[in-house]
Chain A
Amino acid sequence: MDALLGPPKSVWEGGPLQASDHRVSFGGYRRSVENRRLLLPALHAVQDRIGWISQGALGYICRRLTVPPAEAYGVAGFYALLSMEEGPPRRAHVCDDVACRNAGGLDILAGLDGRPDVHPSPCLGQCDRGPAVFLQRAGEEDAVLVSTTARRVAEVLDGGAVSAPSVAVPQAGDPSLRLLRRVGVVDPASLDDYRASGGCAALARAVEMGPDAVLAEVKASNLRGRGGAAFPMGVKWEGVARSPVKPRYLICNADESEPGTFKDRVLMEGDPFALIESMIIAGLAVGAERGYLYIRAEYPLSAARLEEALARMREAGMLGEDAAGSGQMFDIEIRRGGGAYICGEETALMNSIEGKRGEPRNKPPFPTQAGLFGMPTVINNVETLVNVIDIVLEGGAAYAATGTEHSTGTKLFCLAGAVARPGVYEVEFGETLGGLIGLAGGVTGTGRLGAVLLGGAAGMFVGEEHLDMPLTFEDARDRSAALGSGVVLVYDDDADFRDAARRIAQFFRDESCGQCVPCRVGTVRQEELLARHLGGARLEEDLFDDIAKVMMDASICGLGHTASTAIRSAIDLGLLEREDG
């Protein structure tokens, strides 16, 4: 704790009583608000060290930060990875989500049933190499196991060592790659190698051009967000750049928790310097002094590599008072999530950084007007940001020549499930769904396609008739689908879709923040309804539609809005009907 915060300055912060403390009282509203942003890192420090948040530790944090204990308790208990009860020093979170459950995740859980140090987990972002396990170890770094077994997990829980899995992409070495060109090819720990392969040129060019020119190119590129909402990046940037208010913030959303998604992890593990470089370009362009990179806690390797890259870039003068010789101040801080899908929602993420519960805010106001700490904020997804490098190097118009008119550039897709070569694929917008599955070696299992879960749990199941669909934002919209975060989870025609639908309903029930009634209760009622149906009862379709409609119409955020789309699509495709009936 004190390593994070420094020693307490006075008795008011929990230090020893000094003579001066009798005359000066620290504390008060402002200070408490300022300190609050350190709450999640402080809780992490305790969790990392002793494996749970003890009453004493919480009390100490509260004194140091002048945060009320009830509020700190409410924040800590919001996160699945902060444990409020004393338990074993090592804990395994075994993924039983859409991809891993049939790849061995359920077998691991069955094999280790009854162990108090084993918990089921939602998607861990390793879907191409499941079953995946996230390991929390008190006093040691967190770790990840992929393609693993119950025996191996038990071994590690009982003290065995773990080594980080390496990152690879199936298309490595393909000269047409843009976002993925360095992944698996260039040493992610070396700034020299990064430079030798063309790195940092875009930043130098951006500094030369100046913020206005960079902004103009970004607008000309027509780049749209890759985090799910497909919002034009230039519009966001302009809103903040033109704001008269200071300070402004930049956030990189690396929370990547949509089931089936792992593209951002591959970028961060394989090419961490590129993301830092993109963030600096973005920060300078919009006039932000500070950037936050919010990364899910389940990505320890990405976080380590980014910390390393950040340190190297700072040494090289690309961050700080005069970032990259621009004359502007810009620096970046990495923040770890705590195991909460909802913290990927942009305003929930901001609340999380501010040390509050990760509850989404009502919009408007939008982040560009009142975002982090109430200030104008640009928030972009990892993949979105990395595109900035090519936009600066080639110019916006040249960038826009790739892809289609409304979907410019290339897109990363996360192929997993019943395909021969799962992994992250980069294709130009406009490639068809069938073509993409072909690129990954085609359907395995029975060899016949059952359905594709497109866009993740918040997306929908689509059938064979969608194989000719060009993968663009506009084509997806025309067919009332969405590319979402680029999930292409393939099922053969023998797959258990009833089980998949139930897992998705469970996911939303678990991940709802609980703030608004439509989603807090609706996700529960939806799961109950589905359980009745899967247990043999007639599908209460009218009631399902009533529940879906209120979640879609009246929820605060996108989680509620999309919590029933995948299940609705499964019903429409007849996937929930029983084989024998």
Chain B
Amino acid sequence: MADGADPPGVTLTVDGAAVAVPAGSTILDACRAAGKDQPTLCYLDNLTPVNACRVCVVEVDGNRTLAPSCSRPVEEGMAVGTDTDRVRHSRKMVYEFLASSADMGLVDEQTVRWMSYYGCDPARYGPQAGPVEDRDERTAGHHRIGDGHAAETVHQSVKVDNELYVRDYSRCILCYKCVEACGEDAQNTFAIAVAGRGFDARISTEFDVGLTDSACVFCGNCISVCPTGALMFRSEHELRAADMWEEDRQTVTRTVCSYCGVGCNLDLHVQDNRIVKVTSPIDHSVTSGHLCIKGRFGYEYVQELGDLAVTPIDEVLRRARG
């Protein structure tokens, strides 16, 4: 599509309007080409689709069930509906199911907009059950049966086991993105994987050992793909806890990492003249949004050199450093 040189290979309709895309495109590509973006949660342009969340489903004429637009390849003559009753129902339910079982307070604005578009009401499953601390020990095929008066959740305490980032699995919607970023799609480190089964499935290191005892190399690529804020810079976590995280006062400065010759682009998020988080643009040809530990976390030297004036957030940041 991008270069316009290849003649488009497949013609289909999206909500009745014809659209032509190259063979091998997904329905999502076709929807985007038709100017109709679709909600997604487990899909990201720089990761292999796992098609697990099902929020992107569309109705394909002649199919018994709905199809995940993020991964289903287009076929000639396909008729796709993105806003039918069935599609709206399934998307609403997926969002409701997730919001009734996890803390979605930090999802992006788009997701918030979609949720209100579909009229989500997570409260209709009853009051949410409180945090539990046994989720890492649960065994497949067994669960405690309740009376149904509280909606079971994934709420649990935050895992803080190192100075660089925290894991707040109360926010985890099990989108598999962090696993992919840690594994085959970026880092090839495989420090985390999905463990357990069913509702008790969770992201875990082997035997739930702390990150410092695992294979984690602290590249932080999992943080950058996480759609819910479950994985978060320790600095951001501490600032939020102190009620001092103010995103609208932060500036973002693009620069180039100075450590090695790869030349990764860095976006420095700065609040009160302090770097509070580092990301990389997902569309950058060198990084695709991924970094290594040095670019991601090795910024302390910038702010310690000669910068002696103590700002209000220094105390919190110092706490984050342990």
Contacts and interface: CB of A to CB of B under 8 A. Distances in A.
B126 A528 contact: yes
Nearest to A526: B148
Interface in B192-248: 192-201, 204-207, 214-215
Given A362-B51, A520-B201, A510 B143 contact: yes
B101 interface: yes
Given A525-B125, A553-B57, A515 B93 contact: no
B54 A518 contact: yes
A84 interface: yes
B197 A514 contact: yes
A531 interface: yes
B51 A78 contact: no
Contacts of B55: 517
A122 B196 CA distance: 17
B100 interface: yes
A553 B201 contact: no
Contacts of B97: 517-518, 520-522, 525, 550
A74 interface: yes
Contacts of B316: none
Contacts of B195: 70, 73-74, 77-78
A170 interface: no
Contacts, number: 193
B115 to A, nearest CB: 14
A513 B146 contact: no
Interface stretch (B12-20, B134-142, B283-291, B296-304): B134-142
Nearest to A341: B141
Contacts of A520: 97, 174, 198-199, 201
**Interface on chain A toward B: helix, strand, loop, or mixed SS?**
helix
B89 interface: yes
A509 B94 contact: no
A554 B140 contact: no
B93 A518 contact: yes
Contacts of A484: none
B191 interface: yes
Given A340-B197, A509-B143, A550 B90 contact: yes
Contacts of B206: 55, 58, 69-70, 72-73
Interface string A103-116: 00000000000000
B225 to A, nearest CB: 17
B190 A68 contact: yes
B269 interface: no
A554 B200 contact: no
Contacts of B205: 69-70, 73
Given A506-B145, A510-B198, 10 more contacts: A122-B141, A340-B141, A512-B197, A515-B52, A528-B148, A543-B125, A547-B93, A553-B57, A555-B54, A556-B51
Interface of B: 51-55, 57, 65-66, 68, 71-73, 86, 89-90, 93-94, 97-98, 100-101, 124-126, 137, 139-143, 145-149, 151-152, 173-174, 183, 190-201, 204-207, 214-215
**10 A-B pairs with least C-beta separation:** A531-B148, A514-B201, A68-B190, A80-B141, A521-B97, A550-B93, A69-B206, A74-B193, A528-B148, A532-B148
Interface of A: 55, 58, 68-74, 77-80, 83-85, 119-122, 339-340, 357, 362, 364, 506, 509-518, 520-525, 527-533, 535, 543, 546-547, 549-550, 552-556, 561
